[in-house]
Copies of this chain bind each other. A is one copy, B any other.
Amino acid sequence: MAYTPVWFMRQAGRSLPEYRRLRGDEGLLDSLRKPDLAVEVTLQPVRRYGVDAAIVFSDIVVPAAATGFGVDIKAGVGPVVDRPFRSAADLDRIRPFQVDQDAPWLIETVSILASELSVPLIGFAGAPFTVASYLIEGRSSRDYVRTKTLMTTDTETWDALLERLGDQAIASGEAQVRAGAQAIQLFDSWAGALDPDSYRRHVLPATRKVLRALSGLAVPLIYFGVGTGELLGMLPEAGVDVVGVDWRVPLPTAWERTGAKAALQGNLDPALCAAGWEATKPAALRILRQARDAGIEGHVFNLGHGVLPDTDPDVLARLVDLVHEFDR
């Protein structure tokens, strides 16, 4: 393709009026279980923006929820867990994710999308660390004290937990690719809460195992987290094909840290999009120029995190045009 491809994390979601109309008051997990609804939500931003990829409307806690861990997603809050993971005794509550039985609706959603879409479909998977952090903290956290406590003081349970969550991610990714997904994005949104040594020691092995298993599917593997500037250098070797970069790290810097061994996805601050076109345009052009001038191969334009709910969809529409028209 002659232009830089572009899509937006959380391009399907509350920023779109057609999404809010369709979802109404229905719970997020409930709406995922209805393939017609999930398909329509996934397609909305593709129609409206002309983005170059769709991503399955999903959430990283889907395997945990579908296998009965007891987790819901509350509007404006995020995942909330009934009985958080506390100790080895809770390991029995993390069982294998048998997608065809536990979440047949996910396979159906992906299959329909694969047949209807004219752009690539990205499958959705949660990375072991970030899923674990929700199961342990019980909800989103600022400090991750319970997570880091388990990680450093009961490494056996921690490793077993990440292994099981990794197996769920592998099962989920495999099922989505078999149903027609043409890439997988592994969301490790909060991995940047860790110092690099802790990440290398306690998270990278399980993450690498997921990436290696999914690499057998021969589709590009995207890995994303915020605040991961000091982790970027570990990712290509671990099997990441496309490194998601948040807005804190300039793309040329990310290109250096990854040794130019992976494509880069990012990295416009979503708050600038929410601030309006005046804030968005110069920042987007700067990123496009940086990618071009640094000779970055395989830049996928995206935001540095998900679209914020208050974002004006017209800003994103103009942004897609700007990226497509940029002379790289």
Interface positions, chain A 269-321, Cβ under 8 Å from B, are: 269-272, 274-276, 278-279, 283, 286, 304, 308, 310
A269's partner among B148, B270, B271, B310 (CB-CB below 8 A) is B148
Q: Are A148 and B196 in contact (CB under 8 A)?
A: no
Chain B residue numbers with a CB within 8 Å of A278 are 152-153
Chain B residue numbers with a CB within 8 Å of A196 are 248, 250
Q: Are B229 and A279 in contact (CB under 8 A)?
A: no
Assuming the A-B contacts A145-B274, A227-B248, A250-B230, are A195 and B269 also in contact, with contact meaning beta carbons closer than 8 angstroms in the complex? yes
- A198 in the interface, Cβ–Cβ < 8 Å? yes
- A120 in the interface, Cβ–Cβ < 8 Å? no
Q: Are A253 and B230 in contact (CB under 8 A)?
A: yes
Assuming the A-B contacts A149-B276, A278-B152, are A227 and B230 also in contact, with contact meaning beta carbons closer than 8 angstroms in the complex? no
Which of A148, A152, A194, A278 has the largest number of chain B CB atoms within 10 A? Answer: A152
The residue in chain B whose Cβ has the minimal distance to the Cβ of A253 is B230
- In the assembly, what is the distance between CA of A285 and CA of B230, in Å? 20
| A-B complex: 5 closest residue pairs judged by Cβ atoms | A152-B279, A149-B275, A195-B247, A148-B271, A145-B274
Q: Are B195 and A148 in contact (CB under 8 A)?
A: no
Chain B residue numbers with a CB within 8 Å of A271 are 143-145, 148-149
Is chain A's interface secondary structure helix, strand, loop, or mixed overall? helix
9 contacts between A and B (CB under 8 A): A152-B279, A192-B248, A195-B248, A195-B250, A197-B286, A198-B283, A229-B248, A230-B248, A230-B253
- A249 in the interface, Cβ–Cβ < 8 Å? yes
Q: Which A positions have Cβ atoms within 8 angstroms of B?
A: 143-145, 148-149, 152-153, 192, 194-198, 227, 229-230, 247-250, 253, 269-272, 274-276, 278-279, 283, 286, 304, 308, 310
Which of A148, A194, A278 has the largest number of chain B CB atoms within 10 A? Answer: A148
Q: Are A148 and B279 in contact (CB under 8 A)?
A: yes
The residue in chain B whose Cβ has the minimal distance to the Cβ of A276 is B153
- In the assembly, what is the distance between CA of A52 and CA of B204, in Å? 37
A198's partner among B145, B269, B270, B276 (CB-CB below 8 A) is B269
Chain B residue numbers with a CB within 8 Å of A143 are 270-271, 274, 308
Minimum Cβ distance to chain B for residue A132 (Å): 14
The residue in chain B whose Cβ has the minimal distance to the Cβ of A247 is B195
The residue in chain B whose Cβ has the minimal distance to the Cβ of A273 is B145
Minimum Cβ distance to chain B for residue A84 (Å): 16
Minimum Cβ distance to chain B for residue A161 (Å): 16
Chain B residue numbers with a CB within 8 Å of A279 are 148-149, 152-153
Q: Are B308 and A145 in contact (CB under 8 A)?
A: yes
- In the assembly, what is the distance between CA of A197 and CA of B279, in Å? 13
Minimum Cβ distance to chain B for residue A108 (Å): 34
Q: Are A272 and B148 in contact (CB under 8 A)?
A: yes
Minimum Cβ distance to chain B for residue A262 (Å): 19
Minimum Cβ distance to chain B for residue A320 (Å): 20
Which of A144, A149, A283, A310 has the largest number of chain B CB atoms within 10 A? Answer: A149
